[in-house]
Amino acid sequence: MALREEDDDVNLTKMGLLQIGENEEASEIISSGESEFQMYRINSIESTVVIRQLPSQGIAFKLWLPATTLVTLLDNYRRDPNTSPLTRTFSSFQSDGSDSSSPINIVELGSGTGIVGIAAAATLGANVTVTDLPNVIENLKFNADANAEVVAKLGGKVHVASLRWGEINDVEVLVQNVDLILASDVVYHEHLYEPLLKTLRFLLLEGSKRVFLMSHLKRWKKESIFFKKARRFFDVDVIHCDDPQEEHPYTLEQLSVLSEESVTVDDKLDRILIMFTPTIQHCSMANIIGLCLRAKLKECLPLHYKVDIRVSPGSHADEVSVNKQLNDKERVAAALENPNLRQLVDECIYSDEI
Ligand SMILES: C[S@@+](CC[C@H](N)C(=O)[O-])C[C@H]1O[C@@H](n2cnc3c(N)ncnc32)[C@H](O)[C@@H]1O
């Protein structure tokens, strides 16, 4: 995915924006039926955080790459605050004359699995409220409880609350004494831009020293609409950015588009089913991803295997049509005869990126 920063010049604070970088920390996924437990080592606290993912239940139940990047930055900040990109952002609310021995109060928006809020509570010894849509709360609570002991040892605490963007009633009950608002990977669907901005405008009230810090994976140009709108209300600053030379640094596995669990092999019937999950519902690359999978498998599988390639149910706005195209022999053959498409597919499957 492209991570190039193409937006206008940005230079101020209030809304700290960061884009994702490589995550070098060790982490391990353990599967158990529907659930996956991600063990995430946070070196600065010499502890491991455990996060339950329920990937089949939708995007809020998976750990997204920008979350792990923000966790790594928090970890590095604790280890060496002098060299961290977060230092300037944090100093803006730490220098407001409040008692520095009292814990920082943080609200996280769209927490999903909650790893960012939990890591913030542990690394900063902070009081964190992780929030999301009502149907996500149970899993958030599960993860908050699973890590309560580690967090408490470091002087932190994680609370869980339902907070729907755009619903000011939900925010009002939470805003007392908030210093910092966190989020990761919350700018994706266009229809969510306005509600998210409404919540942010309420939280970043005029005159307050609050800061919004978010990590973002730049997937599509349209996201610039969100940032253009945000700049009308806030000072926006890019405080950390991935290497701009590297245009496609993430594999489909790193982006959680594909995993070993999404491949089912039936050796008796010589059938293979591959379910992939596009990063967003309107992903325009879904057909190309499927085509690449098909072209690659055609090269390495015995001919008698029948391969079905589908998007995971509910993961794409054009699910029916994408599935139809990817499993229609004639359409696939025609697509692969198109020289431009063939070149694109070849570039994907002969690089290490798929
Ligand atoms: C791509 S996920 C990111 C989850 C998590 N922050 C991460 O990076 O792993 C987007 C999150 O935003 C939440 N979300 C979407 N619409 C929302 C809304 N209207 N109000 C509150 N949360 C919302 C989703 O439930 C989901 O947890």
From first to last of its 354 residues, what are the pLDDT tens digits of the chain?
A: 222 233 333 333 456 666 554 444 456 666 666 778 889 999 999 999 999 999 888 899 988 889 988 999 999 999 999 999 999 888 876 655 555 678 899 999 999 999 999 999 999 999 999 999 999 999 999 999 999 999 999 999 999 999 999 999 999 888 778 999 999 999 988 999 999 999 999 999 766 788 999 999 877 778 899 999 999 999 998 898 865 544 555 778 878 888 888 899 998 888 999 999 988 877 778 898 999 999 888 888 888 889 999 999 988 888 999 999 999 989 998 888 888 788 788 877 775 433
Cα–ligand 1 centroid distance for 26 (angstroms): 24
Q: What is the pLDDT of residue 336?
A: 86
133 CA distance to ligand 1 middle (Å): 8
pLDDT score for 154: 96
What integer pLDDT is reported at residue 269 of this predicted model?
Answer: 87
User: For the whole prediction, is pTM greater than 0.85?
Assistant: no
The SS3 of residue 77 is helix
- Measured from the Cα of 108, ligand 1's closest atom is 6
From 185, 215, 254, 283, mutation site for ligand 1 pocket: most ligand atoms within 8 A of C-beta: 185
> Which protein residue has the closest C-alpha to ligand 1 atom 26?
60
For atom 2 of ligand 1, which residue has the closest CA?
60
**Ligand 1 pocket: which residues have CB below 6 Å?**
59-60, 63-64, 66-67, 110-113, 132-133, 136, 164-165, 184-186, 188, 192, 195
Atom of ligand 1 nearest to the CA of 70: 8
Q: Please give the number of the atom of ligand 1 that sits closest to the Cα of 63.
A: 9
Q: What is the largest CA-CA distance in the chain?
A: 72
- Report how far ligand 1's centroid is from the alpha carbon of 112 (Å): 5
Distance from the alpha carbon of residue 288 to the mean position of ligand 1, in angstroms: 26
Strands 263-266 and 271-276: antiparallel
The pLDDT value recorded for residue 205 is 77
> From CA 211, how far away is CA 7, in angstroms rounded?
21
Predicted pLDDT of residue 208 = 76
Gap between the Cα atoms of 322 and 311, Å rounded: 8
Mutate to test the pocket of ligand 1, among 18, 133, 139 (most ligand atoms within 8 A of CB): 133
- Protein residue with least CA distance to atom 25, ligand 1: 60
Q: What is the reported pLDDT for 3?
A: 28
Provide the 8-state DSSP code for 259.
-
Which atom of ligand 1 is nearest to 112's Cα?
27
Spell out the domains of the chain, with CATH numbers in brackets.
15-240 (3.40.50.150), 260-349 (3.30.300)
**CB-based contacts of 38, cutoff 8 Å, min separation 6:** 27, 28, 29, 30, 50, 51, 53, 63, 113, 115
Query: Which residue has tokens 């040892």?
Result: 153
The predicted pLDDT at position 271 comes to 92
C-alpha angle with apex 110: 106 to 113, nearest 5 degrees?
95
